[in-house]
Amino acid sequence: MSVEHGLAASRRWLVTGGLGFIGSHFIRIALAEDPELEIVNLDALTYAGNLMNLRDVECSSRYRFVRGDISDPAAVKAAIDPGVSAIVNFAAESHVDRSLIDAEPFKKTNVTGVRVLLEAAIAARVARFLQVSTDEVYGDAVTGELSEESPLSPSNPYSASKAEGEALVQEYRRDRGVPVLVTRGSNTYGPYQYPEKLIPLCITNLIDNESVPLYGDGMQVRDWLHAEDHARGILHVLGSGVSGNAYNLAGGNSCTNLEIAHRLLGACGRSPLTHLRHVSDRPNHDRRYAMSGAKAHALGWRPRIPFDTGLSETVEWYKSNEEWWRRIKRGEFTAYWERQYGARFEERA
Ligand code: NAD
Ligand code: DAU
């Protein structure tokens, strides 16, 4: 798919949070698909950001990394090149369990940061502001599939902060005329996902002969979307979405957490009798997420990667890239990169 869009006049985008999981897939794919495109990646390099995620594009003359926080107006201003035509905001605190312990960083990045970016969008007169949001803003889907018109009913500090970010985006559309788009992606998996999340946590534990911790009865239902499909969906909405609209990016692969655990146990050659343990449930844990993807399908986007293929390739990626995740699991990661590349951050910023 080529990146066809109404942004042809300027192929210069500000992407935020591009050293995280989905943002790094997005940048890699966007640069590969559009040879004219230039991207500045503004990322604070929190615990979840990782320079290794974009090792293969960091030397491209069409890519520039700037270290900075989206809630800092000066950092955002410094990252915006003249003629920038789109802002795509991936930057977020993204882990529900962390938000249950301390919601403050979530408010700072997922709410204040969004407002700072929207102000910068006005100053730079961008043609598109795309807010990457999540199916979690709908809260529990008791029956059926939720559409973009369904009410938002977030049930944890992370999803509440994402819903508030969306509310700000709509406020700036109404009151200030910012040309906004919102995507709501479902649970995403694939290479480069930080191993605090269910799938990489299970895989890396199983590689190490440890068990997988399932919250409660494990019968919670999630809908899984490969990170490359998620990235292509965002590109598609950026190019073809109708300004002011939200688009569900559904994976079409609903299954229980217990089923995920069993698939991964099988893929890693471990038995549920020895390597599966039920642990205390997450407080206020949503039972089921389910969205209709019809609106994004009508734009011409559909996920391409079959779940079986995507999941087994993901297992293989973690088996072949132990260096990537072992550093994280040892907890030395941020310090390591600061030591190795601290000077280069400053040079490139
Ligand atoms: P991630 O946690 O892997 O990466 C987040 C990135 O944002 C990191 O590189 C981090 O350094 C950066 N960041 C955090 N705070 C920042 C700040 N204040 N300023 C600048 N950079 C900052 O996240 P992810 O899983 O790739 O999610 C990306 C986006 O997609 C988020 O907005 C998330 O809400 C959304 N989303 C994620 C999923 C999923 O399953 N992972 C599904 C749907 C939507
Ligand atoms: O649905 C989209 C959301 O998916 C994104 O908005 C979030 O950024 C992303 O983190 C993810 O949120 P979840 O809470 O669904 O992801 P997580 O991998 O933490 O959990 C997936 C499911 O697995 C959830 O029902 C909780 C359960 N779980 C998770 C962990 C970490 C377990 O049973 N055991 C675990 O150890």
Contact 134, 279 (CB under 8 A): no
Question: What's the 26 CA to ligand 1 centre distance in angstroms?
Answer: 12
Whether residue 244 is contained in a domain is answered as yes
Whether residue 296 is contained in a domain is answered as yes
Whether residue 345 is contained in a domain is answered as no
Whether residue 6 is contained in a domain is answered as no
Q: What percent of the chain has pLDDT over 90?
A: 90
Q: What is the pLDDT of residues 68-117, one digit of tens each?
A: 999 999 999 999 988 999 999 999 999 999 999 999 999 999 999 999 99
Ligand 1 atom showing the smallest separation from residue 47 Cα: 11
Question: What's the 96 CA to ligand 2 centre distance in angstroms?
Answer: 7
Could you tell me the residue range of the domain that residue 194 belongs to? 12-254+284-335
Whether residue 278 is contained in a domain is answered as no
Cβ–ligand 1 distance for 239 under 6 Å, the answer no
Question: What's the 6 CA to ligand 2 centre distance in angstroms?
Answer: 35
> Ligand 2 — pocket residues by CB below 6 A?
94-96, 134-136, 186-187, 197-198, 201, 213-215, 220, 222, 257, 282, 289
pLDDT of residue 247: 98
pLDDT of residue 3: 39
pLDDT of residue 335: 63
Q: Which of 119, 103, 154, 108 is nearest to 133 (CA)?
A: 154
Whether residue 49 is contained in a domain is answered as yes
Q: Whose CA is nearest to atom 10 of ligand 2?
A: 95
Specify the 3-state DSSP secondary structure of 157: helix
Contact 305, 229 (CB under 8 A): yes
Question: What's the 225 CA to ligand 1 centre distance in angstroms?
Answer: 16
Report d(CA 132, CA 278) in Å as an integer: 32
- Report CA-CA distances (Å) from 129 to 28, 177, 307: 19, 11, 30
- Which CATH number covers residue 19? 3.40.50.720
Whether residue 187 is contained in a domain is answered as yes
Cβ–ligand 1 distance for 48 under 6 Å, the answer yes
Report d(CA 41, CA 39) in Å as an integer: 6
Q: Domain tally for the chain?
A: 1
Q: What is the pLDDT of residues 11-45, one digit of tens each?
A: 999 999 999 999 999 999 999 999 999 999 999 99
The ligand whose atoms approach the alpha carbon of 140 most closely is: 2
Q: Is the pLDDT of residue 152 over 60?
A: yes
- What average pLDDT does the chain have? 93
Q: What is the pLDDT of residues 247-266, one digit of tens each?
A: 999 999 999 999 999 999 99
Cβ–ligand 1 distance for 70 under 6 Å, the answer yes
Whether residue 271 is contained in a domain is answered as no
pLDDT of residue 130: 98
Active site residues: 135-136, 158
